[in-house]
Each structure stands twice: as C-alpha cells, then as structure tokens.
Amino acid sequence: MEMGTKYLKERRLPTYTQVRRVLESAEPTAFTQWFGEWIDKKGGKAFEPRLFQVSDESGKMIVEEIAEYDQESLDGDDVMILDALNTIYVWVGAKANENEKKNALETAKKYLKQGNLPRHKDTEIETIYQGRETSMFKRLFKKWDDNMFQSDERSVENMRKLLFK
C-alpha cells in the first residue's frame, strides 16, 4: 500500500483516490479488463472468457459452449453463462423461461465449484438481464451495440418466423 500512496503523491492525485491491493494471479475482472490482453504468469496464456448457452427448447436441459462468441450469440429466448474468470455472469434473455433461469444459476454454481481454473476465492455469480447489461459485461465482447436488444426481434423464435415465412 505504501507504493500506491507514493504513486498518488507523485502524480498529484487526490487523497481520496482509492488504492487496492490485488494479489498476483487473482486479479479481478474489474482490474484485468483495462488491459488489451491479460497474460497470467503461471500459465503464460491469456484467459479467454467463455460463453455457454442454457436451453431446454428440445425438452431437455442442454448447456453448450459458443466458440468465438460475439454479442449476436446472446439468444433472447435462452439464458447464457459467461465465464470472465473472477466473475461468472448469468445473462437472462427477455424470453427465457423459468426453468432455464433456475437451471442456469444452478449450472453456474456447479461450474464454479468444479472448475479447475485458479480463481479468486470471492469469485461471484452476477445475474444480468437482456437490455440492462453492465459496462463490465459489455467489455467482454469485441463490439457492443446498445441498440441491438431494443426490440423483441432478437429472439430465435422471431428470427425463425422471419426466415421461414
């Protein structure tokens, strides 16, 4: 903390500026998000967030990973789980059903317990609702369009209607 205080004085930053100690290899997403690519010294490889879709459209609960995801991968008919290492986001689509919502949260809890990644002990699960995404959540996508979820047309059900008239 002494070095942080010294840095604030050198830069002539206000005394009310918060200084937080961050342990190496337990950096929270709020810290690593400001770097283009974060490399964990232990593994030597940057952590890549992972997106999973939770759906029971087939009558059976299915969890699938979405490779090379983007904002358009978020399905308004389902619930998605986004692993950001020290925060697990449960994104709830506007038309997701109750069963998907309940199972997504349980799946996120199991995923967190069973994972073998070096995570901070205070890794949290945060629920995000379609159209109310936080800036922290949005930063986990290469591009983000705030207008994309303004209409109901982003659901799979509505896309099928448009494509297969």
Predicted pLDDT at 151:
60
Predicted pLDDT at 133:
93
Predicted pLDDT at 101:
84
In a domain, 123, yes or no: yes
User: Looking at the chain, how many residues does it have?
Assistant: 165
Whether the predicted pLDDT of 155 surpasses 60: no
Mean pLDDT of 30-53: 72
As a whole number of Å, the CA-based R_g of the chain is 19
**Contacts by 112-121, CB closer than 8 A, 24 or more apart:** 112/88, 117/47, 117/85, 118/25, 118/26, 118/40, 118/42, 119/26, 119/85, 119/86, 120/23, 120/26, 120/27, 120/28, 120/86, 121/26
Whether the predicted pLDDT of 153 surpasses 70: no
In a domain, 2, yes or no: no
In a domain, 91, yes or no: yes
In a domain, 21, yes or no: no
Token pair 């020290």: residue: 86
In a domain, 158, yes or no: yes
- Identify the CATH number of the domain in which residue 62 sits: 3.40.20.10
- Domain span at residue 42 reads 29-163
In a domain, 16, yes or no: no
Could you read off the pLDDT of 57-81 as tens digits, one per residue? Answer: 777 888 899 999 999 999 888 899 9
How far out from the chain centre does Cα 142 lie? 13
In a domain, 156, yes or no: yes
Q: Which residue has the higher pLDDT, 139 or 24?
A: 139
Tokens representing residue 125 in the block: 């699960």
Could you read off the pLDDT of 88-133 as tens digits, one per residue? Answer: 999 999 988 888 888 888 888 888 888 777 777 788 999 999 999 9
What is the Cα–Cα distance from 137 to 13, expressed in whole angstroms?
28
What is the Cα–Cα distance from 160 to 165, expressed in whole angstroms?
8
In a domain, 19, yes or no: no
Q: Is the pTM of this model over 0.85?
A: no
Q: Domain total for the chain?
A: 1
